[in-house]
Amino acid sequence: MYSFNDSIASSGTDTVCVLWGCEVSSMKRTAVFEVEDDLLEHQFFIRTICLSAEANEEMHVVEVQDKMLGRSHPVPIATLRPHCLPMVSFSGFELMPPVTFNLRSGQGPVFICGQHVTLEMDEEEEDIVFSKTSTPYAEYLNEDGKAFVLPLIRKIKQQITSDPTLSSEYPPCLGLPEFTRRATELALGNDCCAIVENRVLGVQTVGCTGAVRLGAELLKRWYSLSAEWRGPVYLSSPCDERLAGVFEAVGILDVREYRYWDAELRGVSAEHMLEDLEAAPELSVIVLSAPGHCPTGADLSQKDWKLVAEVMVRRRLLPFFLMPTQGLCLGDPGQDSWPLRHCASVGMELICAQAFSHNFGLYGERVGHLLLVLRQNSTLLAVQSQAERLVRTLWSRPPVGGARVVATVLSNPAHLVEWHEGVRTAVERCMLVRERLREKLRILGTPGCWDHLTQQGGVYCCTGLNAQQVEYLSKRRHIYLLPNGCLNVSCINNLNLDYVAESINLALTSLP
């Protein structure tokens, strides 16, 4: 075996090409091309396979086996004979290292020449490849890889901009009343008894993070009347890593975890979750996702939600719901908010942080909403007063542009129908991506069962890849996931689906 390390260099400094050659014969029928596990991307191209002048007049068959998709067994690639076909040339025949060449028949000698290419993308170039696949917290993307915005939303934005009757004055401290009313009804339903009994408070916030922050501030001052409340707060494992920091920023340092995702089963472990809730101290706050758990995309069934609600009532636990993608999980905003509505229907107090970024395409507008359902309306004014005081110190007044868009859509029956159709289409696209990715992995023979991809829902997805496989994807394939293997499934489209599937397959088959 031999190589010429100084033979070829690309025009740039990011690609290195090296000629490689070997000889196989009756004395040594096998030759292997290997690379170091340096987390760079390696390619190997066969250039020529030729017989030696001393080769006997007989058939010589050379076969190859590599890590390339679909080639799990040796494949004959050249049949040579001195008098009629002493040499074969190849163009663009790529193999994935390690590559094993074997002289299946004949005495040889046979010479094999190839080219080893090492790709070292600089950071700016590699981020262009899959910048939107890197984080599950990015925008919901359409098939073109751009932020999802319904034509209806664009039209309403233009109407609002050109409306001379709209006031440019500051909005109320707690936000536009029409927006908070409509957002509350979207979450709880128009017939919610808590709304009828006037024990619901809605506050417009600066995005979902602003809603969580305001909710944490209110918990610290209002939740326990005996003293300043400092926890514990229970977060799911895994969860959005920013959540713990939001609670800690207000002085709630007792932040714990409850088991949610089972990596072996690749699904929700309701049994473990219930065990942890049973063991939680009274007055603990339990942060829950409804729907489309972030970042796994795996949700509890309605049966499991009923069991969770029973435990929280018995143990005097307070649910703090996160609802950043209502409508984008099941395609029905009412079904997506079922856990929230169930808890309210059984008389539970609760908090809910809503966002209108993904489902309305309002990312720069930072439209959020904090919803509080109280046990009795006698405390409503006191909590409202606390909220007003906190808002003045946090952001003073919320922005009105995006809130007007949401209020306009939710208050107009025709607009509401069109919006429902739009989010349903988005959900169907995500589900189709999941089904196609699962089928592609099946065809490639990727190890393991991938049914969990279609059992999850919404924008988020947990692939089940481990940290080493995630590192392989980022270093060698320039696909960026969270260390726990989660991603934003809307980042996958027709242009990159095959590449994503092939990369996942390589991550599972190339690593020990």
Q: 225-283: per-residue pLDDT in tens?
A: 556 677 799 999 999 888 999 999 998 999 999 999 998 888 899 999 999 999 999 99
Task: Answer yes or no: is pLDDT of 123 > 70.
Answer: no
Instruction: Output 64 or 310, whichever has higher pLDDT.
Output: 310
Cα–Cα dist 136/139, whole Å: 8
Q: What is the pLDDT of residue 39?
A: 55
Residue type at position 305: W
**Cβ 243 vs Cβ 252: under 8 Å:** no
Q: What is the pLDDT of residue 227?
A: 60
Q: Among positive and negative, which fits the CA dihedral 377, 382, 386, 389?
A: positive
Closest C-alpha among 357, 349, 348 to residue 328: 357
**Cβ 214 vs Cβ 387: under 8 Å:** yes
Task: Answer yes or no: is pLDDT of 157 > 70.
Answer: yes
Q: Which single residue is written with the structure tokens 């095959």?
A: 498
% of residues, the chain, pLDDT over 70: 90
Q: What is the pLDDT of residue 5?
A: 42
Cα–Cα dist 104/110, whole Å: 11
Cα–Cα dist 31/363, whole Å: 55
Q: 271-307: per-residue pLDDT in tens?
A: 999 999 999 999 999 999 988 888 888 999 999 999 9
Q: What is the pLDDT of residue 9?
A: 39
Cα–Cα dist 170/372, whole Å: 24
Q: What is the pLDDT of residue 165?
A: 82
Q: What is the pLDDT of residue 72?
A: 62
Q: What's the average model confidence in pLDDT over 134-163? A: 81
Q: What angle do the packed helices 177-188 and 401-411 form, to 10 degrees? A: 50
Residue 38: pLDDT band by 50, 70, 90 thresholds?
low
Task: Answer yes or no: is pLDDT of 144 > 90.
Answer: no
Closest C-alpha among 276, 264, 244 to residue 462: 264
Residue 14: pLDDT band by 50, 70, 90 thresholds?
low
Residue 485: pLDDT band by 50, 70, 90 thresholds?
confident
Residue type at position 102: N
Q: What's the average model confidence in pLDDT over 155-172? A: 86
* Mean pLDDT across the chain: 86
Instruction: Output 109 or 68, whichever has higher pLDDT.
Output: 109
Residue 1: pLDDT band by 50, 70, 90 thresholds?
low
Q: What is the pLDDT of residue 374?
A: 94
Instruction: Write down the pTM of the prediction.
Output: 0.75
Phi-psi region of 33 (alpha: psi -120 to 50; beta: other; left: phi over 0): beta
Residue 108: pLDDT band by 50, 70, 90 thresholds?
confident
Q: Which single residue is written with the structure tokens 């007044």?
A: 397
Closest C-alpha among 452, 485, 489, 448 to residue 469: 485
Instruction: Output 38 or 457, whichever has higher pLDDT.
Output: 457
Q: What's the average model confidence in pLDDT over 39-55? A: 82
Instruction: Output 476 or 386, whichever has higher pLDDT.
Output: 386
Helices of type H across 189-241: 193-196, 207-218
**Cβ 353 vs Cβ 211: under 8 Å:** yes
Residue 8: pLDDT band by 50, 70, 90 thresholds?
very low
Cα–Cα dist 460/482, whole Å: 11
Residue 369 in tokens: 């909403």
Cα–Cα dist 158/370, whole Å: 27
Task: Answer yes or no: is pLDDT of 405 > 90.
Answer: yes
Q: How far is CA 410 from CA 107, 404, 413, in A?
A: 79, 10, 7
Task: Answer yes or no: is pLDDT of 213 > 90.
Answer: yes
Q: What is the pLDDT of residue 110?
A: 92
Q: What is the pLDDT of residue 414?
A: 95
Task: Answer yes or no: is pLDDT of 12 > 60.
Answer: no
Instruction: Output 47 or 178, whichever has higher pLDDT.
Output: 178
Q: What is the pLDDT of residue 205?
A: 96
Q: What angle do the packed helices 207-218 and 380-394 form, to 10 degrees? A: 130
What residues contact 291, with CB distance under 8 A and at least 6 apart? 299, 323, 325, 326, 329, 330, 335, 336, 337, 339, 457, 458
Instruction: Output 374 or 94, whichever has higher pLDDT.
Output: 374
Task: Answer yes or no: is pLDDT of 477 > 90.
Answer: no
Map 266-291 to HEC letters: CEECHHHHHHHHHHCCCCCEEEEECC
Q: How many whole angstroms from its chain centre is CA 393? A: 33
Q: What is the pLDDT of residue 488?
A: 87
